[in-house]
A = this chain, B = another copy of it.
Amino acid sequence: MSATFELEMEVRDYELDFQGIVNNAVYLNYLEFTRHKYLDAKGLNFVDLHRNGIDLVVSRNEIDYKQSLRAGDRFIVTVNTEMVGHVRLVFHQQILRLPERTVCIKAKVTGVALRNGRPIPVTEISNHQNLTA
């Protein structure tokens, strides 16, 4: 598995729902933004790939909600990656509330690369060592 990539973020008031907690769908935005930053750091830009006819899409999300984030919370989003076969790139992610790094979210996100709607080997967009280094 890859070394851990980390990004620090904070809750924005418009992301809270009427219960005063971050809505369950918003965490997927945090997770996605962090994956894109991770891939950027690996030289893979989402938007550029799209322009070259390759779409990276999520094929499966498994999200465990352990603790809710609330107004003003700062947190870390982590990414570790793992290849599963040739076409699936699995992102193991966590959201950790600061300052104690309390585990709020544990996620396993499976991504695939599509060309003309069909999965292609991940190695066509980057080499194995790069993505899971």
Contacts and interface: CB of A to CB of B under 8 A. Distances in A.
A85 B18 CA distance: 28
Interface stretch (A28-36, A75-83, A89-97, A121-129): A28-36
A50 B32 CA distance: 26
Copies of this chain in the oligomer = 4
Size class of A's contact patch?
A: 35 or more
Contacts of A20: 18, 47
A97 to B, nearest CB: 14
A17 interface: yes
Given A14-B29, A32-B24, A47-B13, A61 B63 contact: yes
> Which applies to chain A's interface (DSSP): helix, strand, loop or mixed?
mixed
A64 interface: yes
Given A13-B47, A18-B18, A23-B32, 8 more contacts: A13-B46, A14-B17, A14-B25, A16-B18, A17-B17, A19-B55, A25-B29, A63-B63
Given A19-B55, A47-B20, A72-B47, A32 B60 contact: no
A98 interface: no
A46 B21 CA distance: 14
A71 interface: yes
